[in-house]
Amino acid sequence: MRSVFSSLNVSNKNNLTLTAQNARLDIIGELEAIVMYQNHFDATDDQDARKTIADIMEEEKVHVGQLFGLLFKLDPESKVQFEKGYTEFMQQD
């Protein structure tokens, strides 16, 4: 069985591509966590639980921002397309 760590001759470009793909996967994981926490928040009336869950959910949103920053550094074209999509959204009627 081949280990993912056995490829020591991977070029820097391939490593950056892999890291960008991992950042995308991490963004998906953080967004899934936000959805899960929102569901948990909505499912309880306990104020201590709601406060705790809301705090954790906000941290996950920060993580999304951090990961997008990493992704945009690794893949500047993603940032260009993201900003294009955001601009198009903001110009809707």
Rounded-to-integer distance, Cα 92 and Cα 90, Å: 6
At position 73, the amino acid (one-letter code) is K
pLDDT for the residue numbered 5: 44
pLDDT for the residue numbered 79: 98
pLDDT for the residue numbered 14: 83
Closest to 74 in 3D by CA, of 19, 12, 25: 19
Q: Is 59 domain-assigned? A: yes
- Domain around 69: 16-91
Other C-beta atoms closer than 10 Å to the C-beta of 37 total 20
Buried b (16+ CB within 10 A) or exposed e, 43-68: eeeeeeeeeebeeebeebeebbeebb
Q: Is 46 domain-assigned? A: yes
Each residue's pLDDT expressed in tens, for the chain with a length of 93 residues? 444 444 445 567 789 999 999 999 999 999 999 999 999 999 999 999 999 999 999 999 999 999 999 999 999 999 999 999 999 999 997
Rounded-to-integer distance, Cα 21 and Cα 92, Å: 30
| Length, in residues, of the chain | 93
Count structural domains, the chain.
Answer: 1
pLDDT for the residue numbered 1: 44
Q: Is 78 domain-assigned? A: yes
Q: Is 27 domain-assigned? A: yes
